[in-house]
Structure 1
Amino acid sequence: MKALPVFLAAACVFGASPAALAAPSERAVEIAHKYVIVDGHVDAPSTVAEAGADIATGTKTVDFDYDRAKAGGLDAPFMSIYVAADYEEKGGAKARADILIGLMEGVAAQYPDKYEIAYSPKDVRRIFAEGKIAMPLGMENGSPIEGDLQNLKHFYDRGVRYVTLAHSKSNHISDSSYDENKRWDGLSPFGFELVRAMNDLGIMVDVSHLSDAAIEDVLATTRAPVIASHSSLRHFTPDWERNLSDDLVKKIGQNGGIVMINYGSAFLNEPANIYNTPRDAARKAEEGKLGRAMTEEEASAFNAAWRETHPYPFATLDQVLDHIDRAVELAGIDHVGLGTDYDGVGDSLPVDLKDVSSYPVLIDGLLARDYDETAIEKILGANALRVWEEVEQARKKRKW
């Protein structure tokens, strides 16, 4: 699994959360299978690489596999080619990305009746019509570019169709929202060059994880729509830069881009976002009494005991819908989608939205809030495909 910020990493060990999914209505199930559902961010490649998961059979899988995706109507999950921030310093980022791409190519080759790599919106629609699941590729963290635009072309040729410019640490391209060291005050000089080159190639620029200043730099530089592949709204998690401010949501809409809502509970409600703060303070106080730091085993036992008396505040379906409502209000119905972060946020997913079989549950929630079928189709995938098409149309000839 991917390395996570502390408050999210802890979510992986909260213990069993309510596992039963709400029973969706027949209409919701029908809608889920009628329209293309695009998910902007699914971390299944990491489960394949780290746990030996088989996403075709469901062996060792977490939130995503073929049967559950088909049940939920998921048609085009962007497979996250996630490269941890520490590769920036230790090296090997490009090789790591190539390995993960190779694993997804292997899945498609081994199970051609179930999966196919998608290189374009046209591919997605054809694969959908054939009854298979499309696997477009998005690279999470630009470190594998390694300062060389030829590497960008290399990854485009391998199928990468968006790049999240940074992850949990600032890198040679951009500052990260998680990193207190804002070394560039936005994008680096190479970052500006990279955004223009991504426009030229037809690779979507993903602003999730970036600092506010870096997102502003991207918006001022790009000539194509951008995406926030797995971000939610800061309005509900005040002062947390990883989520998008109202102003940035509006600007992404004005850019023609799309905000794709993240399902991690810490992204959706403030109690989950700050859950670890009092626990960590209590553990530190206990260490003061001990006169030493706790061992790993002691810390784990302390955290488990804390959870018993302080239940984790899992997000709800209504809270996911609140983020969608506000994003629609700020950016417009044409600029909102889904980027659940399945397989990437541990056991912190909302009640009733625990895996990729649950998209009909979300659809029922949208119907209950008076979204019509046209609006629901846009949120489920039409908006994402439209942005992707516009990025393709913005390409220009360039010598590589």
Structure 2
Amino acid sequence: MKKTLSFLFFVALAFGCAAPEEVQIDYTAMSDAERLEAATEMARSTIMVDGHVDLPYRMKVGGFTLQREILDVSVRTDGGNFDYPRTKEGGLDAPFMSIYIPAGNQAIPGASKALADSLILMTERLTETFPDKFAMAYSPADIEANFAKGIISLPMGMENGAGLEDDLANVEYFHSRGIRYITLTHGKDNLIGDASYDTTGTHGGLSEYGKQVVEEMNRVGIMVDLSHVSDNTFRDALAITKVPTMASHSSVRKFTPGFERNMSDELIQAMAKNGGVMMINFGGTFIDSAYAAGAGMVREHLVNYMVDNGLSRSDSAFVAYAAEYTAANNPFPTVERVADHIDHVVNLVGVDYVGLGSDFDGVGDSLPTGLKDVSMYPNLIAELLKRGYSKEDIEKICYKNIFRVWKAVEDYAAQN
């Protein structure tokens, strides 16, 4: 990491001036307010990609239509973590829309693929309805073009390879539908391989079919996403892939011992050796093992208070008390803890292998103080600047690292 942020001020060569001098600005010496202002400008002027936002499934649950009284994310919404105004405030330019397939769909033939198709259509409908605000994106070049127009890009990744069903041809089909990464598993083992949340170990890693899936994803140009997979599946995928991989929304296991859903130092190093990128999840349970215990104690107290006082969750008296009590007994980690995860990856393998994968709209109310929604990315950038990250570092974390992986996958597919 560099300890200063550099800007080049160019002098017109017509006047015969010397080569431009590099002016060093030390953001570590700024006040918090000054640094946040600089971080906000940086967030809004730099392309920012988030590896995982669960908006499509939120729209499905919320009953997406064109009527604003149901759910219209083109305007500020009361709930959720994502909408257009807040996205612009936070400087987010390309949230990967999660085409999420719940593990329960795996038991019903055809249900996973049908749901994936419906969520893709829903995402496309969003861009068709509000073309001045959102646009589809199928490549880094698309994101750059949309960024130049001030439009939010909506690239897509499928969360859970169960959407492929048992048909290898569906890899190419979903590429044609715009899917640019596939998370191989989700909450349960599937036909592709074993999942981190499952203890069954159905295949001992990737299945034979799963190995074919990884090879086919390489061939057609879909990034292999290793979030949610078991350690054995992770290792198997790295042994087979011919291109860099990614983890769209995972954090560091060091801070959550025993939580296999996060990545161990061994896996972080292996992904870096592969040339991949790890995109940090913001969810409380992902970034701090103390969160679950603290949140559980708060929930237990509030349930007891509600029962003892004959209240319901919707009663104004309970809502007010719950807000006050939670604030006074805040169980949430802070934005600093997310920066700790980034620091750990950078110190372990370097700044070229880390990105942002918030899991907004997918982790409920567990998000840390200072990163509650998409408007708050500048808080994280400010914290990184405070720790000595340079403008070049921030650009790598925000988009250059994932672009590098994505372009490598595109290039390999173009040659095969």
TM-score (norm 1): 0.85
| Alpha-carbon distance change, 349 to 281 in structure 1, aligned in 2, over 3 angstroms | closer
- SS where residue 74 of structure 1 aligns? coil
**Alignment pair present for 1:168 and 2:187:** yes
Q: What is the match of residue 386 of structure 1?
A: 404
**C-alpha displacement of 1:55:** 1.6
Q: What is the match of residue 59 of structure 2?
A: 48
**C-alpha displacement of 1:275:** 5.0
What amino acid does structure 2 have at the position aligned with 1:43?
Answer: D
> What CA distance in whole angstroms lies between the structure 2 residues aligned with 1:152 and 1:358?
35
Q: What is the match of residue 178 of structure 1?
A: 197
Q: What is the match of residue 42 of structure 2?
A: 31
Matched ranges for 1:5-154 at <5 A: 25-52=36-63, 53-59=71-77, 61-91=79-109, 92-154=111-173
One of 247, 264, 275 as aligned partner of 2:266: 247
What amino acid does structure 1 have at the position aligned with 2:38?
Answer: R
> What CA distance in whole angstroms lies between the structure 1 residues aligned with 2:374 and 2:165?
33
- 8 Å contact from structure 1 (residues 272, 312) kept in 2: no
One of 224, 231, 245 as aligned partner of 1:226: 245
Q: Deviations over 1:99-124 (max 9, x none)?
A: 00000000000111110010011001
What amino acid does structure 2 have at the position aligned with 1:123?
Answer: D
Matched ranges for 1:343-358 at <5 A: 343-358=361-376
Matched ranges for 1:244-393 at <5 A: 244-274=263-293, 311=329, 313-393=331-411
**Alignment pair present for 1:208 and 2:250:** no
- 8 Å contact from structure 1 (residues 23, 361) kept in 2: no
| Alpha-carbon distance change, 363 to 279 in structure 1, aligned in 2, over 3 angstroms | closer
**C-alpha displacement of 1:58:** 3.1
**C-alpha displacement of 1:353:** 0.7
What amino acid does structure 1 have at the position aligned with 2:373?
Answer: D
Q: Deviations over 1:117-170 (max 9, x none)?
A: 100110010000111000000000011101112111111111000000110000
- 8 Å contact from structure 1 (residues 260, 339) kept in 2: yes
- More off after superposition, 204-213 vs 270-279: 270-279
Q: Deviations over 1:166-211 (max 9, x none)?
A: 1000000010000011101101110000000000011000000000
Question: Highest CA radius of gyration, 1 or 2?
Answer: 2
- SS where residue 99 of structure 1 aligns? helix
- 8 Å contact from structure 2 (residues 35, 386) kept in 1: no
Runs of at least 5 residues in structure 2 that lack an aligned partner in the other structure: 1-32, 64-70, 305-311
| Alpha-carbon distance change, 193 to 28 in structure 1, aligned in 2, over 3 angstroms | same
Q: Deviations over 1:258-313 (max 9, x none)?
A: 0000000111111114557789999xxx9xxxxxxxxxx99xx9xx99x9699462
Could you say what the CA RMSD is over the residues aligned between the two structures, in angstroms?
Answer: 2.4
**C-alpha displacement of 1:26:** 2.0
Q: Deviations over 1:63-83 (max 9, x none)?
A: 001110011110000000001
Task: Tell me which of the two structures has the higher relative contact order, counting C-alpha pairs closer than 8 angstroms and 6 or more residues apart.
Answer: 1
One of 132, 155, 158 as aligned partner of 2:177: 158
> What CA distance in whole angstroms lies between the structure 1 residues aligned with 2:104 and 2:98?
17
> What CA distance in whole angstroms lies between the structure 1 residues aligned with 2:294 and 2:188?
22
**C-alpha displacement of 1:57:** 2.0
> What CA distance in whole angstroms lies between the structure 1 residues aligned with 2:116 and 2:379?
33
**Alignment pair present for 1:217 and 2:236:** yes
Matched positions, count: 359
> What CA distance in whole angstroms lies between the structure 2 residues aligned with 1:217 and 1:350?
33
| Alpha-carbon distance change, 127 to 396 in structure 1, aligned in 2, over 3 angstroms | closer
- 8 Å contact from structure 2 (residues 295, 331) kept in 1: no
Identity level (%): 47
- More off after superposition, 389-398 vs 222-231: 389-398
- 8 Å contact from structure 1 (residues 237, 273) kept in 2: no
| Alpha-carbon distance change, 138 to 272 in structure 1, aligned in 2, over 3 angstroms | same
> What CA distance in whole angstroms lies between the structure 2 residues aligned with 1:118 and 1:163?
16
TM-score (norm 2): 0.82
What amino acid does structure 2 have at the position aligned with 1:29?
Answer: T
